[in-house]
Amino acid sequence: MGKKDRKGVVYSTSDDFEYRYEDDEQAETLPPQQQKLRVMIDRKKRKGKEVTLVTGFVGTDDDLKELGKTLKTKCGVGGSAKDGEIIIQGNQKEKALKLLLEMGYKAKPSGG
């Protein structure tokens, strides 16, 4: 990869700094007990409707979508999973938190 392939500006005053290129492969999914998930209610940019937001997932998009699908199914609602976040329609904070803990994830409530 050349300089033109860099995806942003990197600046360092360190003499031994070396730019690290992003791998084409995604990060390996951490096991549930190593995940540090946050569960919160979000109303921003949603026309006043509440959604439950699960953030902090470290892993592949496929694993994120699979976890999102499981949560949506068990909560009986719709939603989406992308960009490292799981969005579940409605206020499902307590239920989602309980489900994540039962599945072995480290999860805690956050905000709203």
Q: Over range 72-98, report the average pLDDT.
A: 95
Identify the H or E element spanning 52: strand 51-55
Percent of the chain with pLDDT over 70: 75
Q: Taking the CA atoms of 35, 87, 42 and 76 in sequence, report the sign of the dihedral they define.
A: negative
CATH of domain 26-109: 3.30.780.10
Q: Does the predicted TM-score (pTM) go above 0.95?
A: no
pLDDT in tens, 9-29: 555 566 666 655 554 445 689
pLDDT at 40 over 80: yes
pLDDT score at 81 = 95
pLDDT score at 110 = 87
Note the Cα 25 to chain centre separation in Å. 17
Domain boundaries, the chain: 26-109
CA–CA separation, 92 vs 95, rounded Å? 5
Identify the H or E element spanning 54: strand 51-55
